[in-house]
Amino acid sequence: MRVFISGFGTVGRGAASLLAERSAMLEARFGEPVSLAGAMDSKSFCIRSGAGGFAEAVSRKESTGMCGPELRGGRSAEDVLAEADYDLLVECTPTNIEDGGEGLKAVRRALGDGKDVVTVNKGPLALRFSELTSLAERNGCAFRYEGSVGGAMPIINLCRECLRGQEIRSVGGIFNGTCNFILSRMDGGLPFEQALKEAQQLGYAEADPGYDIGGIDSACKVAILANSVFGRDVTVRDVSVTGIASVTEDAIAMAAGRGMVVRLIGEVSADRLEVSPRLVPRGHPLSISGTLNAALIQTDSAGPVTVTGRGAGGRETASAVLSDVMAVMESRRRARRPPGAESARPRPGRRRHQQ
C-alpha cells in the first residue's frame, strides 16, 4: 500500500516514524508492504523514487527543514497529489476552520480520485463532513479520522467498534488539554492569567491561545462527534461555545468547597451541541487533572463508559493514524481474499447441523 503524507509537522512525521517502525508487522499481518509514495509540507514535497522510505523522509525533514527535494512553488496540494501514485492519503496539515484550507482540498481530491483517506485535520470534518463522507461512499473509499478528536484517546472507533449495538445518547468530555491544564492549576489556587502563562512556558498553550481557551478547538471536536457518532449534519458554527477566560478564582474556590472542580466540557447528543465550563464532582471520571482528554459516553444498555488519553502530541496522535491505517489495510486484505476464506477450517458441528 502506497501512502502519501500531506503535512509533515509533528503528527505527519510521527505517523511516518510509526509506519517505519511497524512496517514488518504490517506486511506480515496484512500481506502487503507499506511504502511512502510521497510527502509534502507547505513549501516542499517528494514523490515516487525521490520519496525514499518513511524514516528517510523524516530524517530529511529534521536535518534540512524540507519535506523533499522539490519546491512547491505555485503548486497546490491538489497539483502535487495529481502527480503522485498512491493508495492512501494521510492528511495531517494544520486545522483551518475558516474554509478548510488546503487540507479540505487535498481530502476532497483524494476521495474524488478513489483513494482511501486517514486524516487528523479537524477543518474538513468540522466544516464539510457530509460532503466528504458521501464522496467516500460513492467512490468506495475508506475515510477514517480517529486522530481528529482526542489525539491518542480512542473515541470515534470506540463508539463504532467496541460499543457496537449500543444506542449512544450523549458524549460529553474534555477535548482540549490546554484548558484542562489551566483549570487544574487553578484548582491549586493559581489565578487564570498565571496558569495560562505557565501553560505557555511549558509549551502546552500557543502564544495566541484564543483558539484553545475560547473553546473553538473543543467546538470543532464536538461538531465532528455530532457528525460521526450521531449521524448529524452540523458544522463548528452550530456549536454553542463559552470558553474558560471568564472562570474566576472565586468560582473555583466555591466549587472546591462543594467537592467539585470546574472543567471545560464539550457535549453532544441528538439535540445538544455545546462547549462550556461546568462543575464536575471530585472522583467523577471527568474530574481528571492535567493535559489529558476524557470523554463520557452515555449509552442505553452499557450505561456510562468513560475513556481518557493524551489529546495531543505527534507520536500520540500518530498512534490513532496507525490504528486507522491498519483498519484500511484489513479491508484491502479482505477484498483480495477468496470467498469462504474467513471460515476455511473444518467446522464439524456446522456441517452436522446444516440443512
> Judged by CB under 8 A, does residue 323 bind its own copies?
yes
> Judged by CB under 8 A, does residue 285 bind its own copies?
yes
H-state helical runs in 89-176: 101-112, 122-127, 129-138, 156-157
Identify which of residues 226 and 296 has a Cβ nearer to its own copies in the complex: 296
Dihedral-angle region of residue 231 (phi above 0 means left; psi in -120 to 50 means alpha; beta otherwise): left
Q: Out of 1, 3, 18, 51, which residue is the one contacting its own copies (CB under 8 A)? A: 18
C-alpha separations of 139 from 83, 110, 200, 208 in Å? 20, 10, 44, 40
Residue 137: CB minimum distance to its own copies, A: 8
Residue 312: CB minimum distance to its own copies, A: 10
Kind of pairing between the strands at 70-71 and 44-47: antiparallel
Scanning 68-76, 192-200, 263-271, 285-293 for contacts with its own copies by CB under 8 A, the matching segment is: 285-293
> Judged by CB under 8 A, does residue 316 bind its own copies?
yes
Find the binding residues for its own copies in span 138-157 (CB under 8 A). 138-141, 146, 152-154, 157
Q: Out of 113, 131, 198, 238, which residue is the one contacting its own copies (CB under 8 A)? A: 113
**136 touches 115 (CB < 8 A):** no
**Mask of contacts with its own copies, 86-105, x by CB under 8 A?**
xx------------------
Find the binding residues for its own copies in span 199-238 (CB under 8 A). none
| Cell triple for 20 | 517505519
End-to-end CA distance of the chain: give it in Å, rounded.
41
Identify which of residues 150 and 235 has a Cβ nearer to its own copies in the complex: 150
> Judged by CB under 8 A, does residue 302 bind its own copies?
yes
**Mask of contacts with its own copies, 41-60, x by CB under 8 A?**
--------------------
Q: What is the separation of C-alpha 299 from the centre of its chain, rounded to a whole number of angstroms?
A: 22
CA distance 58 to 65: 10
CA distance 320 to 65: 25
**145 touches 156 (CB < 8 A):** yes
> Judged by CB under 8 A, does residue 305 bind its own copies?
yes
> Judged by CB under 8 A, does residue 351 bind its own copies?
yes
Q: Out of 62, 99, 161, 206, which residue is the one contacting its own copies (CB under 8 A)? A: 161
Q: In what helix (H) or strand (E) does residue 257 lie, and over which residues does it extend? A: helix 249-257
> Judged by CB under 8 A, does residue 283 bind its own copies?
yes
The verdict on whether 221 is a catalytic residue reads: yes
Residue 338: CB minimum distance to its own copies, A: 6
> Judged by CB under 8 A, does residue 306 bind its own copies?
yes
DSSP calls for 175-187: --HHHHHHHHHHH
Identify which of residues 184 and 235 has a Cβ nearer to its own copies in the complex: 184
CA distance 274 to 271: 10
Identify which of residues 74 and 140 has a Cβ nearer to its own copies in the complex: 140
What residues are labeled active site? 221
